[in-house]
């Protein structure tokens, strides 16, 4: 009796697994022939990464050795490429000239790595990362010492390639188009941690980088040039920018092909004798690039080709990265979305970040970094669609923590916990220790428990549990307590702690702070982000790159938004002085741009109100031309310095108040602060510049300068208090800058000087400015910072910086109703 | 006949996804007022009419956090997926959602 002939094109993961699934169900049914373009047996492609990294050998990753083919009577044609399918004659044409007939045919041709069409693509040393030949080419390139590699593409494969090459001693750099590594699997927080982890493993990352040209010499690659002109020298260039289903054979044979070879739920193509599995397939509009769906597809195909009853319904995906010591897991809607809720857990000590996304009370996705051991559990919960409401509180701690408590009401659950159950994962504190501390040491507040046991002192996520333990032990005697006022709802930490740790732990970016201080949201909120951005600007003036998206609109576009969405523009008038040229330029700008309102402000300068956003750069260009710069009327920073006429004109003037005001403004302008800062200098105690209701004021007297602080005349009317008196103008400037810097370094965001002074006391400020060394150090730090910030933001914008802020994305719909 | 079908019929390519800054927004003027396109920290994009349901503030100028934007005028937080006001202002108003599709890295706005 002749058996049906089953021919498989592709000796890869899908092709061989399909054969195994058939053999498992009906071993004698088919006469099986496999063609594989690669000259070797079937191996585990995903383990090429550890082979590249030198952690495994090829022999370790073989799935089916030659004996397997022989034992199962399979004719393996390794190194033989199928060139065509003749569907009428039911034969495949092989590149060695043979025509091989089939009754049933399986396409398992996988996919091809995409090669970006860059100039220089054909140079030697430009490779992709798909099969063993590629790995061998990379290993050869890394053999000589001092070699450099650039990997284009910061997805899973690109990162694994770079890691492998770094392990082999190459200096490796990943160039990625997006601003987050593996953005299709990771949110920004996890992406940031990955960037750091890769750096620690010798892999540098260049984000938001577009490749322009591959450079070469004598036919060999020498570097990669980016669109912004940067050149990254290299001896090996790995392109890992994605894959494309390998469909050429199917297309030429006239099968239905979209992005992949189209199959139905039985894995059948548009020809009933031809089936397809693996990465070459498109099922219900979906192509896959991971092995889990392939196993599902092959199971169905095994059914179809034997009993005939299989149904494939698509796969839910999860991803793990294979870089030693970097535990990453991602699945589902890891980034949240419509109607989703996030549970975020961070443990800075262990470098852990977990984000569980819930939707309708069910797990909809998860991203885990640093500890992915519960990935499988979350993935199961996600696939099963189980309602997790009952154990939501402990969900983020993982399976072990949760299973102990499941099904019980919360207080009963706490009572039922054994003494050795860990309550605080960050500090490894068990229930028994906490209860003992409460009873033995008579603790009755959360703060006290924190201080004694450290429980809930780090990420704070277990705070509710600790409170329940207090309640359980103390009964009604316990009242929930609060610690220092938190920055916002994203953290339980206060401003002081955040500021202190930015400096002591050298945290230099918002994601770094959020991780180290265990923020409970993925990217903060509109309250904490501007605060953190300011704290970084203040702590690291030379290093930190301002995060525009964490600034309020006024500071982002350097103008004040008005209620109708137009802006007001206030140029600086140093010390309240102006000239006919400036006034003429202002008048011209008003006419040219049809500015509806011109007003003298309460701060001794002129406000142009009702400027259209798109006109801002042009308005500034004209003002700049007349020598005027931004007045920062929008800034949490130095605003105006009001002056009176002083000795120049006034019959009572004791010192040059106008000159001092101008000097102060010219030195201090552009500086950022926790809140707005207004100065004034009056020439005598008659105080025409209203210096005694300013943040910092100077009253000139015969013998020198009285420095006042802590005034305001807005929501609260506060007269200043006198800080000190100095003899010379220089000393006045040093003192004022020192106060400013002390305030900049210590106040909480949005806290004006008078409020800060209420909190810390005048004496604390006095102590700083009356100690010459402390004053000097503060002044120096202020001066250093001003090197970076005494810059006109308008001129920068006129020169084209952040032009996207002022231009619409597109004008193509401008005249169409939408 | 099929009056209930609200599928947008016209799609306009308004730019690349990466033209919108992460945790930021860009606007697209139309004859009926601006549309705001947002890109969140995790790279997702959303489109709303650029008018806050409170007093018409330009949402495109707000701070984007999570999947929400805070209006620059009086700090209402608006959920990007639905345009609904969040938190204490929930139920008080909604910025209309505009159909948006991403195709091969390009943004397409739909008109009904
Ligand atoms: C334009 C101006 C009114 C005017 O036409 O005179 C003005 C306009 C605004 N003030 Fe003022 N203040 C102006 C001088 C003042 C003064 C007078 C002064 O500086 O001597 C005060 C009292 C002094 C003080 O600051 O204590 C003043 C106390 C306030 C306050 C209350 C501050 C406080 O801490 O109590 C606010 C609210 C705030 O900052 O949170 C405020 C806020 C505002 C804002 C920014 C409201 C807002 O958020 O939109 C207004 C912006 C309008 C715009 O778009 O330009 N404005 N504001 C003045 C601009 C001065 C300048 O040249 O930069
Ligand atoms: C380095 C690397 C790491 C990876 N890591 C992971 C991971 O961690 N997790 C995960 O889920 N997935 C991972 N993947 C993806 C996974 O390997 C693929 O999804 C899987 O291999 C696809 O199986 P396939 O059989 O469809 O294609 P392949 O395994 O590529 O097999 C297709 C085979 O068909 C052959 N072929 C093509 N055309 C012809 C022809 N005309 N004639 C004869 N033979 C032909 C090819 O030579 C190839 O051998 C990784 C991939 C790579 C390259
Ligand atoms: S007083 Fe009130 S209304 Fe007048 S400018 Fe100041 S904030 Fe606006
Ligand atoms: S207009 Fe948006 S909050 Fe008032």
Q: Is A715 in the pocket of ligand 1 (CB under 6 A)?
A: yes
Mean pLDDT within A652-672: 96
CATH number at residue A164: 3.50.50.60
A114 close to B (CB below 8 A) = no
Ligand 2 pocket test target in A11, A45, A245 with most atoms within 8 Å of CB: A45
A89 pLDDT more than 50? yes
Q: Is A199 in the same domain as A300? A: no
pLDDT at A148: 95
The set of residues, in sequence order, having a beta carbon less than 8 Å from that of A648 and lying 6+ positions away, is A656, A658, A659
Residue pLDDT, tens place only, A706-755: 999 999 998 888 999 999 999 999 999 999 999 999 999 999 999 999 99
Buried b (16+ CB within 10 A) or exposed e, A692-709: bbbbbbbbbeeebbbbbb
CA pair distance A525, A502, nearest whole angstrom: 18
A367 pLDDT more than 90? yes
- Enter the ipTM: 0.71
Report the interhelical angle of A495-504 vs A528-539 (nearest 10°): 40
A816 close to B (CB below 8 A) = yes
Contact of B45 with B102, CB cutoff 8 Å: yes
Q: How confident is residue A403, by pLDDT bands cut at 50, 70 and 90?
A: low
pLDDT at A182: 93
Q: Is A642 in the same domain as A780? A: yes
SS3 state at A613: helix
Select from B14, B22, B32 the Cβ nearest to the Cβ of A549: B22
Ligand 4 pocket test target in B25, B49, B55 with most atoms within 8 Å of CB: B55
pLDDT at B3: 39
The neighbour count for residue A373, using CB atoms within 10 Å, is 12
Ligand 4 pocket test target in B63, B76, B94 with most atoms within 8 Å of CB: B76
The set of residues, in sequence order, having a beta carbon less than 8 Å from that of A413 and lying 6+ positions away, is A405
Select from A178, A554, A809 the Cβ nearest to the Cβ of B26: A809
Determine how β-strand B68-70 pairs with β-strand B63-65: antiparallel
Q: Is B73 in the pocket of ligand 4 (CB under 6 A)?
A: yes
Total of domains in chain A: 6
Contact of A195 with A206, CB cutoff 8 Å: no
Residue A465's closest CA among A440, A446, A437, A488?
A446
A contacts of B75 (beta carbons < 8 Å):
526
pLDDT at A406: 47
Q: Does domain B18-104 have CATH number 1.10.150.120?
A: no
Percent of chain A with pLDDT over 70: 96
Per-chain mean pLDDT for chain B: 88
Q: Is A44 in the same domain as A137? A: no
Q: Is A720 in the same domain as A767? A: yes
Q: Is A143 in the same domain as A257? A: no
CA pair distance A311, A284, nearest whole angstrom: 12
Token pair belonging to A166: 């770094």
Q: Is A751 in the pocket of ligand 1 (CB under 6 A)?
A: no
Q: Is A11 in the same domain as A96? A: yes
User: Which range (A198-202, A320-324, A419-423, B57-61) has the least confidence?
Assistant: A419-423
Task: Write down the pTM of the prediction.
Answer: 0.67
A contacts of B27 (beta carbons < 8 Å):
808-809
Could B21 and A549 be called an inter-chain contact, meaning their C-beta atoms sit closer than 8 Å?
yes
Q: Is A692 in the same domain as A785? A: yes
B104 close to A (CB below 8 A) = no
Distance from CA of A277 to the nearest CA of B (A): 25
Whether residue A565 is contained in a domain is answered as no
Residue of B21, B33, B41 to mutate, interface with A, max A Cβ within 10 Å: B41
Q: Is A721 in the same domain as A748? A: yes
**Chain A, nearest residue to B14 by Cα:** A810
Could A552 and B63 be called an inter-chain contact, meaning their C-beta atoms sit closer than 8 Å?
yes
Residue of A359, A488, A809, A817 to mutate, interface with B, max B Cβ within 10 Å: A809
CA of B39 to the centre of ligand 4 (A): 20
Per-chain mean pLDDT for chain A: 90
Residue pLDDT, tens place only, A211-227: 999 999 999 999 999 99
CA pair distance A514, A509, nearest whole angstrom: 9
Token pair belonging to A485: 């006022």
Mean pLDDT within A388-405: 77
Q: How confident is residue A413, by pLDDT bands cut at 50, 70 and 90?
A: low
B contacts of A337 (beta carbons < 8 Å):
44, 67, 81
Ligand 1 pocket test target in A714, A719, A747, A756 with most atoms within 8 Å of CB: A714
How many interface pairs between A and B have CB atoms less than 8 angstroms apart? 141
CA of A580 to the centre of ligand 3 (A): 29
**Chain A, nearest residue to B81 by Cα:** A338
Residue of B48, B58, B65, B80 to mutate, interface with A, max A Cβ within 10 Å: B65
B contacts of A818 (beta carbons < 8 Å):
30-32, 35, 98, 109, 111
Q: Is A306 in the pocket of ligand 1 (CB under 6 A)?
A: no
CA pair distance B28, B49, nearest whole angstrom: 10
Could A530 and B40 be called an inter-chain contact, meaning their C-beta atoms sit closer than 8 Å?
no
Whether residue A591 is contained in a domain is answered as no
CATH number at residue A404: 3.30.390.30
For residue A339, give its domain range: 327-408
> Residues with Cβ within 6 A of ligand 2?
A 9-15, 35-38, 45-46, 48-49, 81-82, 108-110, 129-130, 157, 246, 249, 278-279, 289-292, 294, 322
Select from A208, A337, A814 the Cβ nearest to the Cβ of B67: A337
Q: Is A678 in the same domain as A742? A: yes
Mean pLDDT within A622-651: 94
Q: Which residues partner with A328 through β-bridges? A: A369
**Chain B, nearest residue to A552 by Cα:** B63
Those of residues 59-78 in B touching chain A at CB distance below 8 A are: 61-67, 70, 72-73, 75, 77
Q: How confident is residue A270, by pLDDT bands cut at 50, 70 and 90?
A: very high
Q: Is A265 in the same domain as A358? A: no
Residue whose Cα lies nearest atom 11 of ligand 2: it is: A290
CA pair distance B59, B95, nearest whole angstrom: 9
Higher pLDDT, A267 or A292: A267
Q: How confident is residue A617, by pLDDT bands cut at 50, 70 and 90?
A: very high
Whether residue A526 is contained in a domain is answered as yes
Residue pLDDT, tens place only, A163-201: 999 999 999 999 999 989 999 899 988 999 999 999 999
CA of B85 to the centre of ligand 4 (A): 10
A485 pLDDT more than 90? no
Instruction: Point out the ligand nearest to the CA of residue B62.
Output: 4
CA of A450 to the centre of ligand 4 (A): 40
Q: How confident is residue B1, by pLDDT bands cut at 50, 70 and 90?
A: very low
Q: Is A185 in the same domain as A266? A: no
pLDDT at A779: 97
A668 pLDDT more than 50? yes
User: Which range (A45-49, A77-81, A586-590) has the least confidence?
Assistant: A45-49
A71 pLDDT more than 80? yes
Residue pLDDT, tens place only, A139-159: 999 988 889 999 999 999 999
CA pair distance A297, A291, nearest whole angstrom: 10
pLDDT at A675: 97
The neighbour count for residue A144, using CB atoms within 10 Å, is 10
Residue entry with tokens 């044979």: A253
**Chain B, nearest residue to A190 by Cα:** B42
CA pair distance B24, A549, nearest whole angstrom: 6
Alpha helices in A656-715 (DSSP H): 657-668
B4 pLDDT more than 50? no
Mean pLDDT within A316-332: 86
Residue pLDDT, tens place only, A18-34: 999 999 899 989 999 99
Those of residues 79-98 in B touching chain A at CB distance below 8 A are: 79, 81-82, 98
Q: Is A464 in the same domain as A402? A: no
Whether residue A284 is contained in a domain is answered as yes
Residue entry with tokens 């507040």: A445
Percent of chain A with pLDDT over 90: 69
Q: How confident is residue B2, by pLDDT bands cut at 50, 70 and 90?
A: very low
A271 pLDDT more than 90? yes
pLDDT at A404: 56
**Chain B, nearest residue to A208 by Cα:** B18
Distance from CA of B111 to the nearest CA of A (A): 5
Determine how β-strand A42-43 pairs with β-strand B10-16: unpaired
First-to-last alpha carbon distance for chain A, in angstroms, is 70
pLDDT at A411: 58
**Chain A, nearest residue to B48 by Cα:** A818
Select from B31, B72, B79 the Cβ nearest to the Cβ of A815: B31
CA pair distance A321, A664, nearest whole angstrom: 55
pLDDT at A454: 73
CA pair distance A602, A684, nearest whole angstrom: 21
């Amino acid at each position: 009796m002749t058996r049906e002939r089953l021919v498989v094109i592709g000796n890869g993961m899908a092709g061989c697994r399909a054969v195994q699934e058939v053999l498992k169900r009906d071993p004698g049914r088919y006469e099986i022939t496999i063609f594989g373009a690669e000259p070797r047996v079937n191996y585990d492609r995903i383990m090429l990464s550890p082979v590249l990294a030198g952690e495994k050998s090829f022999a370790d990753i073989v799935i089916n050795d030659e004996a397997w083919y022989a034992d199962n009577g399979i004719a393996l044609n390794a190194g033989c490429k199928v060139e065509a399918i003749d569907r009428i004659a039911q034969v495949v044409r092989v590149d060695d000239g043979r025509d091989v007939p089939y009754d049933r045919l399986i396409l398992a041709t996988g996919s091809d790595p995409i090669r970006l069409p860059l100039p220089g693509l054909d140079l030697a040393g430009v490779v992709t990362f798909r099969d063993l030949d590629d790995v061998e080419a990379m290993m050869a390139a890394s053999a000589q010492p001092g070699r450099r590699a650039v990997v284009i593409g910061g997805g899973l494969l690109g990162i694994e390639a770079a890691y492998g090459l770094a392990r082999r001693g190459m200096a490796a750099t990943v160039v990625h188009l997006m601003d987050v590594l593996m953005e299709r699997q990771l949110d920004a927080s996890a992406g940031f941690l990955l960037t750091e982890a890769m750096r620690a493993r010798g892999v540098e990352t260049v984000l938001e980088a577009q490749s322009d040209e591959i450079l070469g010499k004598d036919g060999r690659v020498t570097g990669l040039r980016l669109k912004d002109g940067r050149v990254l020298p290299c001896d090996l260039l790995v392109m890992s920018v994605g894959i494309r289903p390998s469909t050429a054979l199917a297309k030429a044979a006239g099968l239905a092909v979209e992005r992949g070879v189209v199959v139905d739920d039985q894995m059948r193509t548009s020809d009933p004798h031809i089936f397809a599995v693996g990465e070459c397939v498109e099922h219900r509009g979906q192509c896959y690039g991971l092995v889990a769906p392939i196993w599902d597809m092959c199971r169905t195909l095994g059914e179809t080709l034997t009993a005939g009853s299989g149904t494939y319904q698509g796969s839910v995906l999860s991803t793990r990265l294979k870089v030693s010591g970097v535990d990453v897991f991602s699945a589902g809607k890891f980034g949240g979305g419509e109607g989703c809720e996030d549970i975020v857990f961070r443990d800075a000590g262990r470098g852990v970040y977990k984000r569980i996304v819930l939707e309708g009370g069910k797990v909809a996705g998860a991203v885990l970094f640093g500890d992915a051991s519960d990935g499988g559990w979350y993935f199961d919960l996600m696939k099963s669609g189980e309602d997790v409401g009952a154990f939501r509180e402990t969900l983020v701690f993982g399976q072990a923590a949760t299973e102990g408590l499941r099904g019980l009401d919360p207080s009963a659950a706490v009572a039922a916990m054994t003494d050795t159950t860990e309550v605080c994962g960050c500090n490894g504190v068990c229930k028994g220790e906490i209860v003992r501390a409460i009873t033995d040491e008579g603790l009755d507040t959360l703060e006290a428990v924190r201080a004694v046991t450290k429980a809930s002192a780090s990420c704070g996520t277990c705070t509710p549990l600790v409170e329940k333990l207090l309640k359980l032990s103390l009964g009604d005697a316990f009242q929930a307590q609060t610690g220092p006022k938190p920055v916002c709802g994203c953290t339980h930490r206060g401003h002081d702690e955040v500021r202190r740790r930015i400096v002591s732990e050298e945290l230099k970016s918002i994601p770094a702070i959020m991780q180290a201080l265990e923020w409970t949201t993925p990217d903060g909120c509109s309250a904490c982000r501007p605060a953190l951005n300011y704290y970084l600007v203040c702590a690291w003036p030379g290093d930190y790159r301002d995060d525009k998206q964490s600034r309020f609109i006024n500071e982002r576009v350097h103008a004040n938004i008005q209620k109708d969405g137009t802006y007001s523009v206030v140029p600086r008038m140093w010390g309240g002085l102006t000239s006919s040229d400036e006034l003429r330029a202002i008048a011209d700008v008003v006419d040219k741009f049809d500015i509806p309102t011109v007003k003298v402000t309460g701060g001794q300068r002129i406000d142009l109100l009702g400027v259209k956003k798109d006109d801002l750069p042009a308005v500034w260009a004209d003002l700049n031309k007349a020598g005027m710069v931004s007045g920062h009327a929008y800034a949490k920073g130095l605003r105006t310095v009001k002056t009176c006429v002083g000795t120049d004109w006034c019959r009572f003037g004791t010192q040059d108040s106008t000159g001092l005001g101008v000097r102060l403004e010219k030195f201090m302008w552009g500086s950022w602060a926790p809140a707005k800062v207004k100065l004034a200098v009056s020439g005598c105690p008659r105080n025409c510049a209203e210096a005694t209701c300013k943040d910092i004021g100077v009253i000139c007297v015969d013998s020198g300068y009285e420095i006042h602080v802590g005034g305001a005349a807005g929501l609260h009317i506060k007269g200043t208090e006198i800080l000190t008196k100095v003899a010379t103008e220089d000393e006045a400037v040093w003192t004022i800058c020192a106060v400013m810097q002390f305030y900049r370094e210590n106040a909480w965001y949005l806290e004006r000087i008078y409020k800060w002074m209420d909190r810390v006391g005048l004496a604390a400020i006095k102590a700083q400015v009356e100690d010459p060394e402390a004053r000097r150090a503060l002044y120096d730090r202020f001066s250093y910072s001003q090197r970076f910030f005494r810059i006109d933001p308008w001129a920068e914008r006129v020169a084209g910086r952040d032009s996207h802020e002022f231009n619409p994305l597109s004008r193509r719909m401008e005249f169409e109703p939408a | 006949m099929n009056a209930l079908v609200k599928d947008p019929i016209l799609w306009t390519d308004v730019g690349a996804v990466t033209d919108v800054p992460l945790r930021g927004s860009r606007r697209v003027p139309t004859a009926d007022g601006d549309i705001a396109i947002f890109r969140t920290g995790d790279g997702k994009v959303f489109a709303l009419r650029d008018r806050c349901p409170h007093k018409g503030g330009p949402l495109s100028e707000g701070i984007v956090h999570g999947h929400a934007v805070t209006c620059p005028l009086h700090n209402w937080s608006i959920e990007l997926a639905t345009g609904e006001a969040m938190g204490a202002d929930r139920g008080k108003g909604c910025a209309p959602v505009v159909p948006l599709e991403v195709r091969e890295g390009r943004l397409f706005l739909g008109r009904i």
